[in-house]
């Protein structure tokens, strides 16, 4: 049994100790035997490190952690994010629901709703936007829920309603928060979908101002609207306009 279990595990770099995880996650792992807790923690570190750059590998490490400690809420949550990153939305929703049952927290509510969209149930995502849980979310969570609801409206062919859904005090505010660029970008995209190109350009420009971390491609969208085309000078087939 031990040999089969070892074969199902993935190599872990020596420099990954497991101490890198958040204190709250480490606290949850205290319910496990020490050696097992360390092993789970190291796999969770790999999930976090690989999630953006190599989601398939992150997903593989999350499955190892899940096999080792499926009764730990943090493990179920990490498995949910990894499944979401590789577009396994039904699986992600199952993991997020389990994590929520274990923790009692509502912070996963917006991404659970987005999973419903991914599965092809935008009506369910929109219904979740009107549930009491939304009032328990912090401001960032409520903005995220608004983004999901607007996306659900567009999935349902309700482009004008998506524009209205995104109109909020957070959108009107000049203050910049971690979610500001994404909200402005979504609003610009929604405006573009209903043919309000001039307004869309303004909001893409506002998104660029707020997007110091490069979380959106607002600058590219702005260039497209301005008719600017970028050419790769190293591409031998690119037309640079030179004879």
| pLDDT cut 90: percent of the chain above it | 87
Average pLDDT over residues 197-202: 96
Average pLDDT over residues 109-124: 98
- Going by C-alpha positions, the residue among 225, 217, 219 that lies closest to residue 195 is 225
SS (H, E, C) 9-59: CCCCCCCCCCCCCCHHHHHHHHHCCHHHHHHHHHHHHHHHHHCCCCHHHHH
**Rounded to two decimals, what is the model's pTM?**
0.87
| pLDDT cut 70: percent of the chain above it | 91
Least confidently predicted of 93-107, 143-157, 229-243: 229-243
In this prediction, residue 237 carries a pLDDT of 65
In this prediction, residue 49 carries a pLDDT of 96
In this prediction, residue 44 carries a pLDDT of 97
> Average pLDDT, whole number, for the chain?
92
Q: Which residue has the higher pLDDT, 7 or 181?
A: 181
Average pLDDT over residues 184-198: 97
In this prediction, residue 9 carries a pLDDT of 80
Average pLDDT over residues 143-149: 98
Q: How many residues does the chain have?
A: 243
Could you write out the DSSP letters of every residue in 224-241? HHTT-----TT-TT---S
Q: In this model, does residue 55 exceed pLDDT 60?
A: yes
Q: 116 and 122 in contact (C-beta within 8 Å)?
A: yes
Average pLDDT over residues 68-87: 97
């Amino acid at each position: 049994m031990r040999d089969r279990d070892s074969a199902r595990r993935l190599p872990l770099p020596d420099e990954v100790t497991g101490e890198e995880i958040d204190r709250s996650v480490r606290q949850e792992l205290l319910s496990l035997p020490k050696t097992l807790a360390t092993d789970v923690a190291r796999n969770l570190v790999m999930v976090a490190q690989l999630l953006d750059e190599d989601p398939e590998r992150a997903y593989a490490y999350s499955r190892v952690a899940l096999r080792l400690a499926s009764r730990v809420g943090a493990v179920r949550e990490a498995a949910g994010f990894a499944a979401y990153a590789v577009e396994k939305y039904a699986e992600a929703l199952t993991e997020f629901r389990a994590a929520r049952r274990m923790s009692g927290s509502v912070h996963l509510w917006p991404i659970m709703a987005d999973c419903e969209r991914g599965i092809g149930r935008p009506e369910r995502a929109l219904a979740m936007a009107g549930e009491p849980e939304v009032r328990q979310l912090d401001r960032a969570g409520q903005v995220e829920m608004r983004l999901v609801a607007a996306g659900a409206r567009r999935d349902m062919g309700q482009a004008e309603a998506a524009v209205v859904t995104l109109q909020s005090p957070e959108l009107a505010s000049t203050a910049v928060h971690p979610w500001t660029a994404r909200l402005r970008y979504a609003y610009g995209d929604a405006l573009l979908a209903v043919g309000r190109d001039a307004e869309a350009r303004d909001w893409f420009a506002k998104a660029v101002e707020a997007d110091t971390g490069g979380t959106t491609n607002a600058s590219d969208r702005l260039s497209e609207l301005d008719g600017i085309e970028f050419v790769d000078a190293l591409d031998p087939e690119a037309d640079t306009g030179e004879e």
